[in-house]
Amino acid sequence: MEKLDEIKLQRATFDDIPAILDVEKSVIGTKIYSGLTGAEDAKTELTNDIYYLIKSNNKVVGNTSYQLKDDGSAYISGLVVTKKFQKQGIGKRAMQMLLEMLNDKKVIWLMTHPENEKAIALYKSLGFKQVGKAIENYFNDGEPRIKMILERK
């Protein structure tokens, strides 16, 4: 396993689509994650979301994204770490950085697969709580998702 230095978030552009798709391809194919499958998907995401590359040693090791909602909340629409760089705390550090960026938001929420135990543990460690029961076919991929919310005072 390659060891990484400190990570940074870099705002993604259309030029980063190949790197984004490389990250997605490294983890796609499991039922707990339905990622981007092509350049058009990635272009749509970059248009609709605020998208960041997760970088270390000038290498893309993941990506994360969010949307600002009309109700004043923020929706974390994605967090992916390349398979070979998982289990090093990169996802947690990226989430902490994202939450710092969103420090003016009182409500931050996300959706995750109920069997994605690593992600659920990560989100709980950052103060997120599950609300309600699993919602079937939330992303039209045939799989359920649970909603998790972080509420700040």
**20-52: pLDDT as tens digits:** 888 888 776 655 555 656 678 778 888 889 999
Q: What is the pLDDT of residue 38?
A: 67
pLDDT at residue number 36: 59
Widest Cα–Cα separation across the chain: 42
Q: How many CA atoms lie within 13 A of 11 on its CB side?
A: 5
pLDDT at 105: 97
pLDDT tens-digit series, residues 92-150: 999 999 999 999 999 999 999 999 899 999 999 999 999 999 988 888 778 899 999 99
Domain spanning 8-151: CATH superfamily? Gcn5-related N-acetyltransferase (GNAT) (3.40.630.30)
* 2/24: higher pLDDT: 24
Q: What pLDDT, on the 0 to 100 scale, is given for residue 43? A: 83
pLDDT tens, residue by residue, 48-88: 899 999 999 889 999 999 999 999 999 999 999 998 888 89
- Between 30 and 14, whose confidence is greater? 14
Q: Could you give the CA distance from residue 116 to residue 78 in angstroms, rounded to a whole number?
A: 13
Average pLDDT over residues 11-19: 93
Rounded to 10°, the helix 39-48/17-27 angle is 110
Alpha-carbon gap, residue 103 to 100, rounded angstroms: 5
What is the per-residue pLDDT for 109?
A: 98
Look at the pTM and tell me if it is higher than 0.85: yes
